[in-house]
């Protein structure tokens, strides 16, 4: 039995989907890094926050494009 | 209200003895009453119809015993835990103790999905949206294989008991960093138990996800709770927050704890479509209020849930996204679907069941809001609880979810409600007198009948009777692969076995001739077509759709009069008919 069967059942036809998944992984890693710094009461760099925001915006655009493509 | 606990003199021996007496006597009386109860008499008020006064007296005695014996110690006493366990088993284990088979069709369906995956079957994404969030089913499949059992039906009967016990434990732990005394945290647990009529704690992805939700929130508040805002800031002065005291930990364990939270959230994202949004909403409010340090976790959960929807659950929305997203923000339509439509056309008995649910929910919400107001005036606002109380409500604006969203919102507010009400019942700024605890116990006992009515008022069509079980067994024994089984409504056990081979369709027609025409015209229909009519469908028709008594027998007579059906199996009021080709 596959551990994550739903993921393997999904279609990744477009380059934007691959980019979207890569952005997702990077963004989650960056957000976790920010949280762990915050939990250790270390200062948060503005550049890291800006990078997270920009990545999130690009990811939103990729996801919106996917919804648009497959919605109808 | 959230100040440090005031030490109190230990309860006197008489009180301790009384507590044990009430626990043992109450549990014995309730158990004896249940042993003599016959569920064949379940009708319009569900299990309320068949329970004897001795049962309610017994459960009430246990509740009174719990509150009478509340004491501030470092750990809960054995008697307190015994009372709580008895309450959970006697209330949420009630169908498991009384009924011949595990209850509720959707729980059987989940067992069927798990069995399908455990048997090497793939995801049937077009069959059911739930397959798009398959984490729970894949996990269940692993468990079934590891346990080497034929299926997971053995888990169904007391899943509610386990989920409620876990929730109580999480509520108890959640109160600690908020400065609540042991007695307050203990008092919150039976409040959760007697108010939880939502029925979302059966064997299901949402029950598992709710457990994860509570565990993640408890861990975040316990280990990452803090005052991020400057106490002199305008926001702090406006909110008047009470203290949040996180458990001190060193750096490495803190990283491991954080990763465990992310892992829990990931399991939730893969298992259920709604709960991650409840969690994201709660975490976002907590971070905006400045009471947790992990401010990005809300975004991780929200992004994960949206990404799963976009990339892994496309079968759920592809082709009809507009219809799914069309109701977002339409407050009037959503309110009508969640509240008004649920009572539309209902008889007096059903209205009473719905009324008891609405009554408990309103009392809980008003009581919690009142407690918050009181705490705010005392400049000790429990911001964490305020956030957890408010966070689920925006979900009502997203989707009606078949009119069930408001039930889920109530369910997710309950942990905060329980802790807030406990702060009123057992104030920590002074020693709680015995009479106050006795009154609280009697109030809790008085709510028990309303709970049974609200929680198990639909049992006439949510239980699985011997008749229904036998017809289902016969159906799965006799119908060949590729069969299509039509049902008059979905309130019966569907997809419990052979998920890939035997499919079900709900009939829209109500009259015999129209039913035959609908089955003949169905483009998906195979040559092996059946109609399943069960006792639970009959009860649903009578109670909710206002059909006449014994309407299934009348419908079967009409169907057979058309000359198109033959009886495959009949057990009592449950039938399996086969459509004969022209």
Q: Which residues from A are below 8 Å from B297, CB to CB?
A: 31, 35
Give the ipTM of the model, two decimals please: 0.87
Give the separation between CA B195 and CA B363, rounded to whole angstroms: 10
Nearest CA of chain B to the CA of A42: how many Å? 11
Q: Which two tokens stand for residue B415?
A: 């942990």
Q: Which residues from B are below 8 Å from A20, CB to CB?
A: 307, 310-311
Nearest CA of chain A to the CA of B113: how many Å? 13
DSSP per-residue letters across B409-444: HHHHHHHHHHHHHHHHHS-SSSPPPHHHHHHHHHHH
Give the separation between CA B216 and CA B252, rounded to whole angstroms: 18
Find all residues with CB under 8 Å of B327, minimum gap 6, and list them. Answer: B333, B334, B337, B399, B400
Note the pLDDT of residue A57.
92
Asked if A38 has any chain B CB less than 8 Å from its own CB, the reply is: yes
Task: Give me the half-sphere count of Cα atoms (radius 13 Å) on the Cβ side of residue A48.
Answer: 16
| Nearest residue on chain A to B115, alpha-carbon basis | A1
- Would the pLDDT of A1 be above 50? no
Note the pLDDT of residue A6.
46
For B31, other C-beta atoms within 10 Å of its C-beta total 16
Note the pLDDT of residue B3.
47
Note the pLDDT of residue B427.
80
Give the separation between CA B27 and CA B532, rounded to whole angstroms: 40
| Nearest residue on chain B to A53, alpha-carbon basis | B299
Residue of B303, B308, B321 to mutate when probing chain A, most A C-beta within 10 A:
B303
Give the separation between CA B103 and CA A48, rounded to whole angstroms: 52
Are residues B117 and A5, on separate chains, in Cβ contact within 8 Å?
A: yes
Nearest CA of chain B to the CA of A12: how many Å? 8
Residue of B265, B280, B307 to mutate when probing chain A, most A C-beta within 10 A:
B307
Say if CB B30 and CB B54 are below 8 A apart.
yes
Note the pLDDT of residue A15.
76
Task: Give the model's confidence band at A9: pLDDT under 50 very low, under 70 low, under 90 confident, else very high.
Answer: low
Dihedral class, residue B483 (left if φ above 0, else alpha if ψ from -120 to 50, else beta):
beta
Q: Which residues from A are below 8 Å from B315, CB to CB?
A: 9
Give the separation between CA A39 and CA A36, rounded to whole angstroms: 5
| Nearest residue on chain B to A7, alpha-carbon basis | B312
Q: Which residues from B are below 8 Å from A39, CB to CB?
A: 224, 254, 258, 293-294
Note the pLDDT of residue B555.
92
Note the pLDDT of residue B194.
96
Nearest CA of chain B to the CA of A47: how many Å? 15
Note the pLDDT of residue B544.
85
| pLDDT, tens only, A15-61 | 777 888 889 999 999 999 999 988 888 888 899 999 999 999 998 88
Residue of B138, B296, B320, B324 to mutate when probing chain A, most A C-beta within 10 A:
B296
Give the separation between CA B303 and CA B314, rounded to whole angstroms: 16
Q: Which residues from A are below 8 Å from B139, CB to CB?
A: none
Query: How many contacts does A have with B, using Cβ atoms within 8 A?
Result: 112
Q: Which residues from B are below 8 Å from A58, CB to CB?
A: none
> Model pTM?
0.90
Give the separation between CA B129 and CA B138, rounded to whole angstroms: 15
Among chain B, residues having any CB pair with chain A shorter than 8 Å are: 117-118, 120, 122-123, 125, 131-135, 138, 141-142, 145, 224, 251, 254-255, 258-259, 262, 270, 293-297, 299-300, 303-304, 306-307, 310-315, 317-319, 321-322
Give the separation between CA B182 and CA B436, rounded to whole angstroms: 17
Walk along chain B (582 residues) and give the pLDDT tens digit of each residue.
444 454 445 456 788 888 899 999 999 999 999 999 998 888 889 999 999 999 999 999 999 999 988 876 778 889 899 999 999 999 999 999 999 999 999 999 999 999 999 888 888 888 888 888 889 999 999 999 999 999 899 999 999 999 999 999 999 999 999 989 888 999 999 999 999 999 999 999 999 999 999 999 999 999 998 876 777 777 778 878 888 888 888 888 899 999 999 999 999 999 998 999 999 999 999 999 888 999 999 999 999 999 998 888 888 877 666 666 666 656 566 555 555 555 566 678 888 999 999 999 999 999 999 999 999 998 888 999 999 999 999 988 876 666 688 899 999 999 999 999 999 888 875 566 778 888 999 999 999 999 999 999 999 999 999 999 999 999 999 999 888 999 999 999 999 998 888 999 999 888 888 998 888 887 765 678 999 999 999 999 988 888 888 899 999 999 989 888 899 999 988 999 998 877
CA dihedral of residues A19, A24, A27, A32 (deg, nearest 10) = -150
A 46-65: CB under 8 A from B: 52, 56, 59, 63
DSSP per-residue letters across B220-259: HHHHHB---S-TTSHHHHHH-BPP--PPP--HHHHHHHHH
Give the separation between CA A10 and CA A12, rounded to whole angstroms: 7
| Nearest residue on chain A to B251, alpha-carbon basis | A40
Q: Which two tokens stand for residue B110?
A: 């989940």
Asked if A15 has any chain B CB less than 8 Å from its own CB, the reply is: no
| Nearest residue on chain B to A10, alpha-carbon basis | B312
Note the pLDDT of residue A72.
65
Q: Which residues from A are below 8 Å from B123, CB to CB?
A: 5-6, 9
Note the pLDDT of residue B430.
58
Nearest CA of chain B to the CA of A26: how many Å? 11
Asked if A43 has any chain B CB less than 8 Å from its own CB, the reply is: no
| Nearest residue on chain A to B325, alpha-carbon basis | A71
Nearest CA of chain B to the CA of A10: how many Å? 5
Give the separation between CA A57 and CA A63, rounded to whole angstroms: 10
Are residues B319 and A63, on separate chains, in Cβ contact within 8 Å?
A: no
Q: Which residues from A are below 8 Å from B262, CB to CB?
A: 32
| Nearest residue on chain B to A38, alpha-carbon basis | B293
Are residues B118 and A38, on separate chains, in Cβ contact within 8 Å?
A: no
Q: Which residues from B are below 8 Å from A12, CB to CB?
A: 311
| Nearest residue on chain B to A52, alpha-carbon basis | B296
Q: What's the Cα-to-Cα distance from A22 to each of A28, B9, B280, rounded to whole Å? A: 10, 61, 22
| pLDDT, tens only, B468-479 | 999 999 999 999
Note the pLDDT of residue B1.
43
Asked if A23 has any chain B CB less than 8 Å from its own CB, the reply is: no
Q: Which of B507, B282, B284, B299 is nearest to B413 (CA)?
A: B282
Q: Which of B172, B217, B191, B161 is nearest to B75 (CA)?
A: B172
Report helix angle B78-92 to B159-174, nearest 10: 140
């Amino acid at each position: 039995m596959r551990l994550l069967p739903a993921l393997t059942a999904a279609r990744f036809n477009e380059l934007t989907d691959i980019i979207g998944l890569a952005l997702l992984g990077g963004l989650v890693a960056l957000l976790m890094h920010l949280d762990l710094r915050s939990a250790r009461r270390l200062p948060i760099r503005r550049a890291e926050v800006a990078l997270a925001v920009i990545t999130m915006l690009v990811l939103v655009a990729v996801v919106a494009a996917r919804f648009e493509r497959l919605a109808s | 209200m959230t100040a440090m606990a005031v030490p109190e003199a230990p309860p006197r021996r008489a009180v301790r003895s009384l507590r044990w007496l009430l626990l043992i006597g109450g549990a014995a009386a309730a158990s004896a009453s249940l042993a003599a109860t016959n569920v064949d008499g379940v009708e319009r008020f569900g299990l309320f119809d068949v329970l004897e006064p001795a049962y309610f007296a017994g459960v009430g005695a246990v509740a009174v015993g719990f509150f009478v014996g509340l004491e501030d110690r470092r750990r809960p006493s054995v008697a307190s835990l015994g009372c709580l366990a008895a309450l959970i088993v006697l209330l949420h284990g009630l169908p498991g103790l009384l009924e011949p088979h595990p209850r509720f069709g959707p729980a059987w369906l989940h067992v069927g999905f798990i069995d399908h995956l455990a048997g090497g079957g793939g995801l049937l994404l077009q069959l059911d949206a739930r397959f798009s969030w398959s984490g729970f089913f894949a996990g269940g499949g692993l468990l079934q294989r590891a346990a080497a059992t034929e299926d997971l039906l053995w888990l169904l009967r007391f899943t509610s008991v386990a989920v409620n016990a876990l929730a109580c434990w999480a509520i108890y732990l959640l109160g600690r960093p908020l400065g609540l005394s042991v007695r307050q945290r203990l008092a919150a647990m039976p409040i959760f138990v007697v108010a939880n009529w939502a029925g979302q704690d059966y064997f299901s992805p949402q029950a598992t996800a709710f457990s994860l939700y509570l565990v993640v929130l408890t861990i975040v508040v316990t280990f990452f709770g803090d005052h991020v805002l400057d106490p002199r800031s305008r926001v702090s002065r406006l909110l008047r927050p009470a203290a949040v005291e996180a458990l001190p930990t060193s750096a490495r364990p803190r990283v491991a704890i954080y990763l465990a939270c992310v892992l829990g959230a990931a399991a939730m994202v893969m298992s259920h479509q709604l709960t991650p949004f409840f969690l994201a909403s709660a975490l976002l409010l907590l971070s905006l209020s400045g009471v947790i340090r992990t401010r990005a976790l809300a975004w991780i959960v929200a992004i994960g849930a949206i990404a799963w929807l976009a990339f892994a659950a496309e079968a759920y929305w592809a082709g009809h996204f507009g219809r799914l997203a069309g109701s977002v923000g339409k407050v009037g339509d959503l309110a009508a679907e969640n509240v008004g439509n649920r009572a539309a056309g209902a008889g007096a008995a059903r209205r009473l069941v719905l009324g008891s649910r609405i009554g408990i929910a309103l009392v809980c919400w008003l009581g919690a809001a009142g407690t918050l107001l009181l705490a705010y005036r005392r400049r000790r606002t429990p911001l964490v609880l305020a956030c957890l109380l408010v966070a689920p409500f925006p979900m009502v604006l997203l989707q009606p979810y078949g009119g069930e969203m408001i039930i889920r919102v109530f369910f997710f507010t309950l942990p905060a409600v329980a802790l807030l009400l406990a702060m009123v019942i057992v104030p920590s700024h002074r020693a709680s007198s015995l009479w106050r605890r006795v009154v609280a116990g009697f109030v809790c006992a008085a709510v028990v009948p309303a709970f049974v009515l609200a929680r198990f008022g639909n049992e006439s069509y949510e239980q699985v009777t011997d008749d229904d079980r036998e017809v289902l067994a016969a159906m799965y024994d006799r119908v060949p692969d590729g069969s299509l089984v039509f049902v008059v409504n979905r309130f019966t056990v569907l997809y419990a076995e052979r998920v890939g081979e035997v499919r079900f369709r709900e009939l829209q027609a109500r009259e015999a001739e129209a039913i035959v025409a609908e089955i003949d015209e169905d483009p998906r229909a195979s040559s092996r077509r059946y109609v399943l009519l069960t006792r639970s469908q009959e009860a649903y028709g009578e109670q909710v759709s206002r059909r006449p008594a014994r309407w299934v027998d009348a419908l079967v007579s009409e169907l057979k009069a058309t000359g198109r059906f033959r009886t495959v199996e009949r057990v009592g009021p449950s039938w399996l008919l086969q459509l004969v080709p022209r």
